[in-house]
């Protein structure tokens, strides 16, 4: 048995083939060695191979150094070289538990889906829910809105924070919300106020989903949309409980996947391990800290 | 009422083009064929299942039989819910056929008539089937017996009056009090009168008692199958079990009894050899919620294709059809009707009833008896009653730390991948829990 383990390289590759972007993370002994990200293409298998090669070249490693490849995300089955494929629900929970074991609810806001996981003992999900056939609040939704407002997706968070009085957006459907946004623009409302209103609407929707779990515990928010400081700010205001956002929220799924490599039955959940993985003071950061970190 | 003519489709003539009927028929036939071929590919499938495939086949052997019967002047009664006493229908000399449809294509003509209306797709499909007569069987039906259960079913029965005579049964939806059971007995007797009127045969006590004993025997066989499913390695898959019990709604119950007996013998042989219908280490799932009528086996197929095995269900398209025998206390006709009314009212845990705490109690009992590791609660879009009860059930299951996942589905194949992801995650979760939540070892039932 031991021989088999040593026969495999010491590195594990976590691959998260999301609806919009593909994230790859390289892990060694519970520490993140490197990561890369690209837009998901029509051939996820090929894309992952390229990303892996880039990552290995960057770190001066060989293919043999990689022990296990674990895939997750909507395109997990297209990654032919993966040793294991697990759903994104399991992967995000795994990653989140590694980062903050005391969290009770994990919210993953991805490109096409919102997933809320309630954590049980030992980081095993005890319950989860997802958005049902509705893209409202997802990355795609925010993309559409940013396009309607002619703002870059990376700027919407920051710009919404400059709003003084948020406009009220009622529609949750992507198409109707877009037409509501267009009519607000026609009324001469500022982009900042409209964005703030959109973020409020999204936050309300996510909080409603979180509340259906009937849990009052601490929340960790991750997934690509958690990089949007506007939504994070609104969530903090409405969620009415302790909430943390890790530094690279979009990588949590890939991290969880890498942690599921079969050799690691029990991932090292220590403060040092966590800090090493995701930067210092994760979970302790205030909203302002994160804001400064991202905007700077 | 009968003279007023159509209300929902006054301009019925030529409303639906012929090619729509052809298309609906073709797609329905194709859907049934593809679902059936998937079922046949299951590993370790008992050979005796072939008979039940044939009974439910689109335009299959049973349809030919019913057509012959109808041609000779026999009457066929369509039933809409599980509260219609099939014993009574058959004792009156008619044949019963469950009308609820699991075909996807007929949803479209119903949408054209009603708009989307947020209505349950099963109701729409059943209506659409009649509208374009997408299924040759549907045109043989002479009378529809429709208990006014949920809103969808009640209005479905009303709309169907535009095409075919309907007996609307006023089922009491409040389950307590003397008035409820009195009313229901009267409704059963009313159904009997309408059946006698239809067939011209009086319902004789002897015939009724004979039918009752046949159906009670069928219940007995079903509980045999359930016993086999309780074992640690069930020799029959959840889909096949659903197929067997749904076949009883179309078949001649005497022949069904014979065939099920043969099936049980085969299953018992398989069990002694240790043959398991599921994947090794499969998660033991209970299926609950809205009905899944053949060939709408989308969700069960996903569950059993993603490392789960459906050990039992609590659906009105499965376990609930055969869960209780009719227990007659006396010999008088009145007592027989009383017993039938009780059987078709009190044990039924359809969410249209209130109070319905019986459902939660039974569910907890079944979970314990069958060693269930997780519950998949399925609701059809627009099934408000199940959607509402899901919350109550989820919280009740949390108390006994049994996880539940809610899945909403429609009559189309667009959401297969989304549903699959959720079911896979659910199975992964159950398997991860095993290391920490040891389930009590199942006693081998015999």
B100-119 pLDDT, tens per residue?
999 999 999 899 888 877 89
Cβ distance A122 to B436 less than 8 Å, yes or no, reads: yes
Answer whether B412 touches A (CB < 8 Å): no
What pLDDT score was predicted for residue A8?
Answer: 79
Query: In angstroms, what separates the C-alpha of A43 from chain B's closest C-alpha?
Result: 18
What pLDDT score was predicted for residue B12?
Answer: 64
Pairing of strands B76-79, B95-98: parallel
State yes or no: pLDDT of B26 exceeds 50. Answer: yes
Answer whether B413 touches A (CB < 8 Å): no
What pLDDT score was predicted for residue A235?
Answer: 95
Answer whether B415 touches A (CB < 8 Å): yes
State yes or no: pLDDT of A273 exceeds 60. Answer: no
Cβ distance A90 to B425 less than 8 Å, yes or no, reads: yes
Residue-wise pLDDT for B302-329, tens only, equals 999 999 999 999 999 998 898 888 988 8
Strands of the A31-39 sheet, one edge to the other: A31-39, A21-28, A11-17, A66-72, A84-85
Maximum C-alpha span of chain B? 67
Domain borders along chain A are 1-100+250-279, 102-245
Residue-wise pLDDT for B381-417, tens only, equals 999 999 999 999 999 999 998 999 999 999 999 889 8
Answer whether B373 touches A (CB < 8 Å): no
Cβ distance B429 to A88 less than 8 Å, yes or no, reads: no
DSSP assignment letter at A73 = S
Answer whether A220's CB lies under 8 Å from A247's CB: no
Q: Give me the residue from B403, B417, B428 closest to A127, CB to CB.
A: B403
pLDDT grade for A170, boundaries at 50, 70 and 90: confident
- Mutation target to probe the B interface, by most B beta carbons within 10 A, among A70, A77, A128, A138 is A128
Cβ distance B421 to A87 less than 8 Å, yes or no, reads: yes
Exposed/middle/buried for residue A187 (C-beta within 10 Å: 0-12, 13-18, 19+): exposed
A→B contacts (Cβ < 8 Å), by residue, are: 74, 86-90, 120-122, 124-130, 132-133, 212, 214
B chain contacts of residue A212, beta-carbon cutoff 8 Å: 391
Share above pLDDT 70 across residues of chain A, in percent, rounded to a whole number: 86
State the average pLDDT over residues A25-42.
91
Cβ distance B424 to A87 less than 8 Å, yes or no, reads: yes
DSSP one-letter string for A169-190: ----SHHHHHHHHHHHHHTT--
Query: Residues 6 or more apart from B346 whose CB is under 8 A from it?
Result: B175, B358
Answer whether B390 touches A (CB < 8 Å): no
B chain contacts of residue A112, beta-carbon cutoff 8 Å: none
Cβ distance B432 to A133 less than 8 Å, yes or no, reads: no
- Mutation target to probe the B interface, by most B beta carbons within 10 A, among A76, A113, A127 is A127
Distance CA A7, CA B244 (A): 51
Answer whether B53 touches A (CB < 8 Å): no
Q: B172: cis peptide before it, omega within 30°?
A: no
Distance CA A79, CA B319 (A): 40
Q: Which residue of A has its CA nearest to B381?
A: A132
Query: In angstroms, what separates the C-alpha of A75 from chain B's closest C-alpha?
Result: 11
Residue-wise pLDDT for B182-233, tens only, equals 899 999 999 999 999 999 999 999 999 999 999 999 999 999 999 999 999 9
| Class of the domain covering B208-434 | alpha beta
3-class DSSP state of B175? coil
A chain contacts of residue B432, beta-carbon cutoff 8 Å: 90, 124-125
pLDDT grade for A278, boundaries at 50, 70 and 90: low
Answer whether A224's CB lies under 8 Å from A111's CB: yes
> ipTM of this model?
0.82
* CATH 3.40.50.11890 placement within chain B: 2-203
Query: In angstroms, what separates the C-alpha of B398 from chain A's closest C-alpha?
Result: 9
- Mutation target to probe the B interface, by most B beta carbons within 10 A, among A18, A84, A87, A209 is A87
State the average pLDDT over residues B153-178.
91
Residue the block writes with tokens 């049902």 = A132
| φ and ψ at residue B71, rounded to 5 degrees | -60, -35
Q: Which residue of B has its CA nearest to A92?
A: B425
A chain contacts of residue B429, beta-carbon cutoff 8 Å: 89-90, 124-126, 128
Cβ distance A128 to B405 less than 8 Å, yes or no, reads: yes
State in Å, rounded, how far the first CA of chain B is from the last one. Answer: 55
What pLDDT score was predicted for residue B393?
Answer: 95
Q: Give me the residue from B403, B415, B417 closest to A126, CB to CB.
A: B403
State the average pLDDT over residues A132-154.
90
What pLDDT score was predicted for residue B6?
Answer: 79
CATH of domain B2-203: 3.40.50.11890
Cβ distance B418 to A133 less than 8 Å, yes or no, reads: yes
Q: Which residue of B has its CA nearest to A118?
A: B403
What pLDDT score was predicted for residue B175?
Answer: 87
Cβ distance A121 to B422 less than 8 Å, yes or no, reads: no
Q: What is the mean pLDDT of chain B?
A: 91
State yes or no: pLDDT of B366 exceeds 90. Answer: yes
What pLDDT score was predicted for residue B324?
Answer: 86
Cβ distance A128 to B404 less than 8 Å, yes or no, reads: no
State yes or no: pLDDT of B64 exceeds 70. Answer: yes
Does this chain's domain A1-100+250-279 share its CATH topology with A102-245?
Answer: yes
Q: Could you tell me how many residues make up chain A?
A: 296
Query: Residues 6 or more apart from A175 whose CB is under 8 A from it?
Result: none
- Kindly indicate whether the domain formed by A102-245 is annotated with CATH number 3.90.1170.50: no
Q: Which residue of B has its CA nearest to A125?
A: B429
Strands of the A105-109 sheet, one edge to the other: A125-130, A114-119, A105-109, A219-222, A243-244
Q: Give me the residue from B398, B415, B429 closest to A124, CB to CB.
A: B429
Answer whether B351's CB lies under 8 Å from B261's CB: no
Strands of the B143-147 sheet, one edge to the other: B95-98, B76-79, B143-147, B166-169
**Judged by CB atoms within 8 Å, which residues 424-443 of B form the interface with A?**
424-426, 428-429, 432-433, 436
Cβ distance B421 to A74 less than 8 Å, yes or no, reads: yes
Distance CA A8, CA A1 (A): 11
Query: Residues 6 or more apart from A225 whose CB is under 8 A from it?
Result: A109, A110, A137, A138, A139, A142, A231
* CATH 3.40.50.11900 placement within chain B: 208-434
The CATH-assigned architecture of domain A1-100+250-279 is 2-Layer Sandwich (3.30)
Query: Residues 6 or more apart from B101 whose CB is under 8 A from it?
Result: B122, B125, B126, B128, B129, B135, B293
Residue the block writes with tokens 């959607």 = B387
């Amino acid at each position: 048995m031991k021989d088999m383990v040593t026969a495999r390289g010491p590195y594990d590759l976590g691959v998260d083939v999301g609806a919009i972007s593909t994230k790859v993370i390289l892990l060694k002994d519970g520490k993140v060695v490197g990561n890369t990200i690209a837009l998901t293409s029509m051939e996820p298998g090929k894309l992952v191979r390229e990303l892996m090669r880039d990552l290995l070249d960057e770190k001066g490693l060989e293919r043999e150094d990689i022990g296990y490849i674990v895939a997750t995300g909507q395109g997990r089955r297209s990654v032919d070289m993966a040793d294991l494929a697990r759903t994104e629900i399991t992967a995000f929970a795994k990653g989140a538990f590694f980062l903050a074991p005391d969290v009770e609810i994990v919210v993953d806001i991805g490109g096409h889906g919102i997933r809320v996981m309630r954590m049980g003992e030992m980081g095993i999900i005890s319950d989860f829910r997802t958005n049902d056939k509705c893209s409202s609040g997802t990355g795609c939704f925010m993309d559409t809105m940013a396009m309607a407002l002619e703002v870059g997706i990376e700027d919407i968070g920051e710009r919404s924070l400059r709003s003084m009085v948020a406009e009220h957006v009622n529609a949750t459907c992507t198409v109707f919300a877009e037409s509501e946004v267009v009519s607000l623009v026609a009324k001469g409302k500022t982009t900042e106020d409209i964005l703030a209103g959109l973020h409020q609407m999204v936050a309300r929707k996510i909080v409603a989903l979180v509340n259906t779990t009937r849990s009052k515990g601490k929340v960790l928010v991750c997934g690509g949309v958690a990089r949007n400081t506007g939504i994070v700010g609104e969530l903090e205001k409405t969620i009415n409980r302790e909430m943390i956002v890790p530094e690279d929220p979009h990588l949590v799924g890939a991290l969880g996947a890498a942690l599921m490599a079969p050799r690691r039955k029990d991932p090292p959940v220590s403060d040092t391990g966590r800090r090493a993985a995701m930067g210092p003071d994760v979970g302790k950061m205030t909203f302002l800290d994160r804001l400064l970190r991202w905007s700077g | 009422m009968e003279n007023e003519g159509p209300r929902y489709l006054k301009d019925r003539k030529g409303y639906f083009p012929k090619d729509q009927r052809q298309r609906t028929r073709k797609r329905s036939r194709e859907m049934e064929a593809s679902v059936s071929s998937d079922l046949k590919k299951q590993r370790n499938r008992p050979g005796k299942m072939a008979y039940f495939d044939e009974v439910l086949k689109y335009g299959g052997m049973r349809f030919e039989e019913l057509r012959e019967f109808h041609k000779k002047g026999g009457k066929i009664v369509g039933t809409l819910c599980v509260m219609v006493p099939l014993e009574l229908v058959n004792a009156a000399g008619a044949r019963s056929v469950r009308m609820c449809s699991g075909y996807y294509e007929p949803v479209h003509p119903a949408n054209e008539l009603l708009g989307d209306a947020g209505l349950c797709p099963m109701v729409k499909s059943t209506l659409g089937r009649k509208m374009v007569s997408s299924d040759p069987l549907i045109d043989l039906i002479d009378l529809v017996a429709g208990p006014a259960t949920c809103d969808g079913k009640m209005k479905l029965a009303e709309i169907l009056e535009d095409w075919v005579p309907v007996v609307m049964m006023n089922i009491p939806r409040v389950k307590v009090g003397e008035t409820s059971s009195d009313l229901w007995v009267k409704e059963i007797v009313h159904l009997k009168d309408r059946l006698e009127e239809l067939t011209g045969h009086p319902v004789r006590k002897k015939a009724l008692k004979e039918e009752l004993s046949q159906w009670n025997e069928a219940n007995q066989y079903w509980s045999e199958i359930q016993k086999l499913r309780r074992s640690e390695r069930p020799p029959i898959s959840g889909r096949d079990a659903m197929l067997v019990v749904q076949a009883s709604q179309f078949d001649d119950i005497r022949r069904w009894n014979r065939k099920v007996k043969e099936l049980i013998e085969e299953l018992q042989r398989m069990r002694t050899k240790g043959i398991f219908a599921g994947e090794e280490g499969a998660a033991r799932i209970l299926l609950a919620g809205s009905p899944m009528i053949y060939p709408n086996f989308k969700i069960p197929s996903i569950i059993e294709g993603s490392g789960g095995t459906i050990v039992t269900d609590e659906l009105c398209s499965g376990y609930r059809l055969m869960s209780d025998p009719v227990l007659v206390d006396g010999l008088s006709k009145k007592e027989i009707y009383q017993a039938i009314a009780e059987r078709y009212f009190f044990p039924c845990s359809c969410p249209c009833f209130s109070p319905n705490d019986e459902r939660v109690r039974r569910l907890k009992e079944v979970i314990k008896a069958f060693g269930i590791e997780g519950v998949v609660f399925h609701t059809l879009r627009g099934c408000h009653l199940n959607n509402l009860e899901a919350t109550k059930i989820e919280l009740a299951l949390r108390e006994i730390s049994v996880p539940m996942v809610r899945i909403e589905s429609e009559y189309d194949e667009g959401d297969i991948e989304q549903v699959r992801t959720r079911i896979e995650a659910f199975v992964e979760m159950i398997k991860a829990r095993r290391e920490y939540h040891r389930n009590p070892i199942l006693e081998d039932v015999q």
